[in-house]
Amino acid sequence: MGKELTARGKATRGRIVEAAAAVLREMGVERATLDDVMVRSRTSKSQLFHYFPDGKEQLLLAVAQYEADRVLEDQQPYLGSLDSWEAWHEWRDATIRHYEQQGPYCPLGTLSLFLGRSTPGARAVVTELLRRWQGYLASGIEALQAAGQLPADLDVDERAAALLVAIQGGVTILQSTGSAYHLRAALGHAIDDMHRLGIHASDPAVTRTGPLVHR
């Protein structure tokens, strides 16, 4: 919208977006209508079009942003405090558990496909999500470096990107098969590999014969 919303306006707009997200999760993008959203959000047609004058596509884009924010919120507080190996393992377990519970349906992926991955709005939402997500992972790696638990010359951005690819690849297979096996293996080995680098950096005489226990 062109002007700053009041607190009440923000609350109303947020209620519409949250209601739309719930409707889309239950009914799917193709079946859900603006009438369904109005009923769920307890708003009138004039209210809905006041906040989303371009209609359904504009609302879907707002829901896509809402779902993108939830991707990161659902990983907290673990994602924001990756300052020890125990914290990394807790984040790993929480991430795998989240996607197992979510199952084959990915709200953000579905919305992106419906809006078109090449459209500027949808692409911007996904690009910003990945940038923020990778930033959290990079901060966690830097925290381990500062604590002397990872080599100082480790390529932080490359490692963070690899972890993100492990998640996305594993989630894609989970959505196709219903099994989190590949997600668990890919993310577990990515973290284990970093841990081995940390052990070798602190004591080159130490060797490992197996991966960390995947709880």
Give domain limits for the chain: 7-53, 64-202
Whole-angstrom distance between the N-terminal and C-terminal Cα of the chain? 46
Q: To the nearest 10°, the Cα dihedral for 4, 8, 11, 16? A: -90
Cα–Cα distance between 139 and 146 in angstroms, integer?
10
Mean pLDDT of 51-70: 93
Backbone dihedral region of 178: left (phi > 0), alpha (psi from -120 to 50 degrees) or beta?
left
Return the structure tokens found at 81: 């405090």
Query: What pLDDT is stored for residue 211 in this prediction?
Result: 40
Q: Closest Cα partner for 195 from 211, 175, 214?
A: 211
Query: What pLDDT is stored for residue 19 in this prediction?
Result: 96
Q: Top-level CATH class of 64-202?
A: mainly alpha
Query: What pLDDT is stored for residue 199 in this prediction?
Result: 79
Query: What pLDDT is stored for residue 201 in this prediction?
Result: 59
Contact 190, 162 (CB under 8 A): yes
Confidence label for 111 from pLDDT (cuts 50, 70 and 90): confident
Architecture of domain 7-53: Orthogonal Bundle (1.10)
How many Cα atoms sit within 13 Å of 81 on the Cβ side? 6
Mean pLDDT of 62-75: 93
Q: What residues contact residue 118 under an 8 Å CB cut-off, 6+ apart?
A: none
Contact 158, 101 (CB under 8 A): no
pLDDT tens profile 149-193: 999 999 999 999 999 999 999 999 998 999 999 999 999 999 999
Query: What pLDDT is stored for residue 109 in this prediction?
Result: 78
Reduced to 3 states (helix: H, G, I; strand: E, B; else coil), residue 117 is: coil
Query: What pLDDT is stored for residue 153 in this prediction?
Result: 95
Checking if the pLDDT of 117 tops 80, the result is: no
Checking if the pLDDT of 67 tops 70, the result is: yes
Query: What pLDDT is stored for residue 30 in this prediction?
Result: 86
pLDDT tens profile 192-213: 999 999 876 555 444 343 444 3
How much of the chain, in percent, has pLDDT values that exceed 90? 72
**77: cis peptide before it, omega within 30°?**
yes
Q: What residues contact residue 105 under an 8 Å CB cut-off, 6+ apart?
A: 25, 175
How much of the chain, in percent, has pLDDT values that exceed 70? 90
Checking if the pLDDT of 64 tops 70, the result is: yes
Query: What pLDDT is stored for residue 5 in this prediction?
Result: 84
Query: What pLDDT is stored for residue 106 in this prediction?
Result: 80
